[in-house]
Amino acid sequence: MRPEFDRNAQITVRQIGPEDWEAYRDFYMSLRDPHHFRGILAGKDPDDRATWQGLFDATTGTGDYVMFGMEDRKRLIGQSGIQFLRNGDQVTALLAGSEIADDRRGQRLVDKLYQARREYLRSINFQGPVITTISPGNTNSRTAAERNGFSNTGRFDEHGYCIYVPEDLG
Ligand SMILES: CC(C)(COP(=O)(O)OP(=O)(O)OC[C@H]1O[C@@H](n2cnc3c(N)ncnc32)[C@H](O)[C@@H]1OP(=O)(O)O)[C@@H](O)C(=O)NCCC(=O)NCCS
């Protein structure tokens, strides 16, 4: 069921990092089916600070990954990232890992994460290709990507995910 529109919502998006580990833990642990970073977190103690520090070290700490958090009145309700894929001299920005809290899905809040990532790429004057990849069965993600100006190239990445590119980075 589509959640009620909350007229008191105060949604903001910002870059997040290791100092946000507690908010990130609460967000991640509340998800019914958390699928991003499962590999990094497998077998780790969710109540140990080091678990979440490790996650940020393995992502944002590499310099190849920028992570964004969406908050409503200080509660983290979504996350997303940009992974910079390097191949020789070419760097591709992969818009990756969007996840919205279960009770906030279906409100098009993911658009704010698309917007934040576009703004970030503009702020660093990123000139390389931009892509996003979507599992063939993920219709919610596909709907959101298409609404945000991405179209299916018909090509697949090494995981069998469909590669989408923006018609215009805007
Ligand atoms: C994919 C995802 C990020 C989209 O975020 P979102 O803010 O819910 O996006 P939207 O509101 O645009 O929803 C997209 C579609 O999902 C459907 N939907 C998802 N949750 C819904 C809900 N609770 N109620 C009604 N419709 C819902 C709707 O069909 C909607 O399309 P529409 O608004 O054109 O009808 C979010 O569903 C999510 O976190 N999914 C789990 C993680 C994932 O699969 N991430 C993408 C891979 S990187």
Under 8 Å between Cβ of 165 and 130? yes
Q: Indicate whether 57 belongs to any domain.
A: yes
Q: Which residues contact 148 (CB under 8 A, 6 or more apart)?
A: 110, 111, 114, 166
Ligand 1: atom nearest CA of 97 is 48
Judge whether 3 lies within some domain. Answer: no
pLDDT at res. 4? 63
Q: Which atom of ligand 1 is nearest to the CA of 133?
A: 48
Q: Is 1 among the domain residues?
A: no
Q: Work out how many domains the chain is built from and give that number.
A: 1
**Which residue's CA lies nearest to atom 21 of ligand 1?**
106
- List, for the chain, all residue ranges whose pLDDT scores fall below the cut of 50: 170
Which residue range(s) make up the domain with 117? 11-166
Q: Residue 121 Cα, ligand 1 centroid: separation in angstroms?
A: 23
Nearest CA to ligand 1 atom 41: 99
Whether the CB of 12 sits within 6 Å of ligand 1 = no
Q: What is the 105 CA–ligand 1 centroid distance (Å)?
A: 5
Q: What is the CATH number of the domain that holds 95?
A: 3.40.630.30
CA 111 from centroid of its chain's CA atoms: 11
- The model's pLDDT over 8-52, given as tens digits with 9 standing for 90+, comes to 789 999 999 999 999 999 999 999 998 788 888 889 998 899 999
141 CB near ligand 1 (under 6 Å): yes
Q: Is residue 155 part of a domain?
A: yes
